Chains A and B, each alone.
Chain A
Amino acid sequence: MDVTRRRILQGLGGLLGSSLWPNLTMASTASQLSMFGQVPSAAKAQRLISAGAPADMLLLALAPERLLGLASFDLGGDYPWLSNKLTALPKLGRLAGRSSTLSLEQLLALKPDLIIDCGTVNDTFRSTAERIVAQTGIPYLLVSGKLADSAAQLRQTGAVLGADARAEQLAQIAEHILAEAAHFADARGRQLSFYAARGARGLETGVAGSLHTEAIELLGLRNVASAEHQRGLAPVSMEQLLLWQPDIIITQEPSTWQHIQTSPQWQGLKAVQQQQVLLLARFPFGWFDSPPGINRLLGIRRLQAYLDPSLQAGFKAEMQQFFAAFYHSELSDAHYQQLVEPQLVNA
């Protein structure tokens, strides 16, 4: 089947006179993966390049020892809770068509066996992958990045890399978190509404259904910012926010949190009066966004533990387990405290 497709594609390529794409093949093993070029056998996929931040998260979990560097994180800074395995990785830049910061020449100089990208799969990203394969000959694996499919992403990418055992362990954690979240959604989550505050004044937000709030919505919580035709970020007005009166406000930025606490405008929100403003500060991986990768699984669990008191006592152990499995790092009690209760300048 594979072979016929390749023949057909090559035939088409020949018809179009496109000698640029001689080795292009395309086959997808299942719903999560799209492969471009000759994807190497697991044993030969030793030098990996991550194309963007979500792929960074996926590969840090599955095969950090084979990563040549990270696309978007410079972990060389002050992150004592991450193991040296991670912090030693250089930041190489991302591969994303026009907005690439890793040049193709640099890419070739790194001699990778496989490029892996994770996120939205549409024609833009498919054609980007095709072009890179055509220009460099390096095979490219595009992994669909929907959070609800995390387990399948992990298992299938793990299979390509020959890291099945590790992938299975991670996939089971992902399944557990997602199943528990679905359970919570039915039990309580749907009664709650939330607003995800971004920007210096908290007046930018991810619209319902966007990947910026996907993680929170998996717990059943209703995103107050719903706009029919929009799926990204949008500015909102304070007036609208006062009308929405979300039960919880969630932000990843300390400066946004600080502003919400101190600004008189925000005091009219019952979530602020009742101190339901949650700061989930990045470390540097975000809890429910930035990047929109499998790192968000931990955010789902943390938010559920916040909302369900019966889980609170066990969350520390779960987070330490998550760190061990996904970040190969031992999270000490002190560092746990630091990540969960970030130090803020008192206003």
Chain B
Amino acid sequence: MTLRATTITLVGLLLASLLLAISVGKFPLSLTDLSQLLWGDATSVNHSASVVFWQIRLPRVLAALLIGAALAAAGTAYQGMFRNPLVSPDILGVSAGAGAGASLAILLGLSMAGIQLFAFAGGLMVVALVCVIAQFTRRQDPVLSLVLIGIAVGTLCGAFISLIKVLADPYTELPSITFWLLGGLNTITVADLSTAAPLLLIGILPLWLLRWRMNLLSLPDDEARAMGVNVTQLRWVLIVAATLVTASAVSIAGIIGWVGLVVPHICRIMTGANNVRLLPCAMAVGAILLLVTDTMARTISHVELPLGILTAMIGAPFFLLLLMRRERL
């Protein structure tokens, strides 16, 4: 596919899934209702339809769009930066830290705002810790040591989460922790979105602007330096931005796996490894994947399916299919 055709397809799919997500839901909203709500005389629509649309469905759809794009962007940045296709945005422990923070907050019985704050702070603190420890391992390859430290600290956080699960009341706190760790957008409110959206955008912006330079990080450090790039500085900027993005996403949506790992691969098959094209493509595909899976999560049954389960159930087979088709080429 040419670049132009890919762009048109992606933009078309994105708009289609956005429209689908907005118009489909448990609460019946007709297309007339929707157009009235969006462009027409809002007073002609009944009150509950307007509450459903503005307070519940639209924030949720926008959150899916933003979080999908953000996680895919962070995943793309990390995979390029660490020159490792198995890397996901969680590699430096941000999800594990956020999970530990959220579990602790649930154990302490804090409100949703408290849980989100703990999750956000937990994610940032863990990545900061990983980076500080990396400063003491200067003799190693900086990229490899970051990944290894991330895995070790992430495992520690995992152990902490397990400990909290053991201590939690099996009838009340434990189910809440489980649901949080499985991720989901069912609790998103306008307030969540208005807190997280600016942070997500602030994080995405440097990734977007520096996407050409990201290519240079896939070269060995000395070669990149020879081209006049301050590799260390660039790496830190990208880590901070990607961490901010992932921590904000995880703090309002819980841990949604697979998007950050699998979407960059799907896009690499579509557009190649050049981040100038890869990053926008990954953001679009991430947004589409999350919009579609979240629409399914909230419409399949009366009760919801946790989003983390659906993204894996849809993302993994799709990815395998792509891999198999690629082998044949």
B184 contacts the other chain (CB 8 A): yes
CB of A291 within 8 A of CB of B171, answer yes
| Given known A-B contacts A263-B189, A290-B169, A199 and B52 have beta carbons under 8 A apart | no
Measured in the bound complex, the distance between the Cα atoms of B172 and A253 in whole Å is 9
Residue of A nearest to B47 (CB): A268
B48 contacts the other chain (CB 8 A): yes
Question: Which of A226, A239, A258 has its CB near the most chain B CB atoms (within 10 A)?
Answer: A239
Select the stretch in A157-165, A202-210, A319-327 that faces chain B. A202-210
Q: Which of A223-271 contact B (CB under 8 A)?
A: 225-227, 230, 233-240, 242-243, 252-253, 255, 258-259, 263-265, 267-268
Measured in the bound complex, the distance between the Cα atoms of B78 and A284 in whole Å is 47
| Given known A-B contacts A203-B186, A204-B176, A235-B184, A289 and B302 have beta carbons under 8 A apart | no
B109 contacts the other chain (CB 8 A): yes
B25 contacts the other chain (CB 8 A): yes
Query: Smallest CB–CB gap between B20 and chain A, Å?
Result: 15
CB of A236 within 8 A of CB of B304, answer yes
B226 contacts the other chain (CB 8 A): no
Query: Smallest CB–CB gap between B182 and chain A, Å?
Result: 9
Measured in the bound complex, the distance between the Cα atoms of B57 and A233 in whole Å is 23
CB of A200 within 8 A of CB of B115, answer yes
Query: Smallest CB–CB gap between B115 and chain A, Å?
Result: 6
Measured in the bound complex, the distance between the Cα atoms of B46 and A296 in whole Å is 40
Q: Which residues of B contact A101 (CB under 8 A)?
A: 166
* A 38-56 binary contact with B (CB < 8 Å = 1; else 0): 0000000000000001000
Measured in the bound complex, the distance between the Cα atoms of B188 and A263 in whole Å is 12
Q: Which of B177-213 contact A (CB under 8 A)?
A: 179, 184, 186-187, 189-190
Interface residues on B, range: 35 or more
Q: Which residues of B contact A259 (CB under 8 A)?
A: 111-112
For chains A and B in complex, what number of residue pairs have CB atoms within 8 angstroms? 113
CB of A268 within 8 A of CB of B52, answer yes
Residue of B nearest to A53 (CB): B171
Q: Which residues of B contact A234 (CB under 8 A)?
A: 303-304
Measured in the bound complex, the distance between the Cα atoms of B48 and A255 in whole Å is 25
Measured in the bound complex, the distance between the Cα atoms of B48 and A290 in whole Å is 34
CB of A242 within 8 A of CB of B56, answer yes
Query: Smallest CB–CB gap between B57 and chain A, Å?
Result: 6
A198 contacts the other chain (CB 8 A): yes
A6 contacts the other chain (CB 8 A): no
Q: Which residues of A contact B171 (CB under 8 A)?
A: 53, 212, 286, 289-292
**Quick one: which of A53, A204, A226 contacts B302, CB cutoff 8 A?**
A226
**Quick one: which of B172, B298, B301, B303 contacts A239, CB cutoff 8 A?**
B298
Measured in the bound complex, the distance between the Cα atoms of B51 and A224 in whole Å is 21
A274 contacts the other chain (CB 8 A): no
Measured in the bound complex, the distance between the Cα atoms of B112 and A290 in whole Å is 21
Measured in the bound complex, the distance between the Cα atoms of B111 and A198 in whole Å is 12
Q: Which residues of A contact B175 (CB under 8 A)?
A: 198-199, 204, 233
| Given known A-B contacts A199-B176, A201-B187, A239 and B302 have beta carbons under 8 A apart | no
B319 contacts the other chain (CB 8 A): no
**Quick one: which of A212, A237, A290 contacts B26, CB cutoff 8 A?**
A237
CB of A227 within 8 A of CB of B301, answer yes
CB of B179 within 8 A of CB of A204, answer yes
B318 contacts the other chain (CB 8 A): no
CB of A198 within 8 A of CB of B176, answer yes
| Given known A-B contacts A237-B304, A240-B298, A290-B171, A258 and B26 have beta carbons under 8 A apart | no
Measured in the bound complex, the distance between the Cα atoms of B324 and A161 in whole Å is 65
A4 contacts the other chain (CB 8 A): no
Q: Which residues of B contact A290 (CB under 8 A)?
A: 169, 171-172
Measured in the bound complex, the distance between the Cα atoms of B302 and A237 in whole Å is 9
Measured in the bound complex, the distance between the Cα atoms of B306 and A265 in whole Å is 21
CB of A242 within 8 A of CB of B27, answer yes
Instruction: Give 7 new A-B contacts, CB below 8 A, not counting A237-B298, A264-B55, A289-B171.
Output: A99-B170, A199-B176, A200-B187, A238-B186, A239-B27, A240-B26, A242-B51
Binding site for A on B (CB under 8 A): 25-27, 47-48, 51-52, 55-57, 60, 106, 109-112, 115, 166, 169-172, 175-176, 179, 184, 186-187, 189-190, 298, 301-304, 306
Q: List 22 A-B contacts (CB under 8 A).
A: A72-B170, A99-B170, A198-B175, A201-B187, A204-B175, A207-B303, A227-B301, A227-B302, A227-B303, A230-B303, A233-B175, A238-B55, A239-B26, A239-B27, A240-B302, A242-B27, A242-B51, A255-B109, A265-B55, A289-B171, A290-B171, A290-B172
Binding site for B on A (CB under 8 A): 53, 72, 99, 101, 198-201, 203-205, 207, 212, 225-227, 230, 233-240, 242-243, 252-253, 255, 258-259, 263-265, 267-268, 286, 289-292
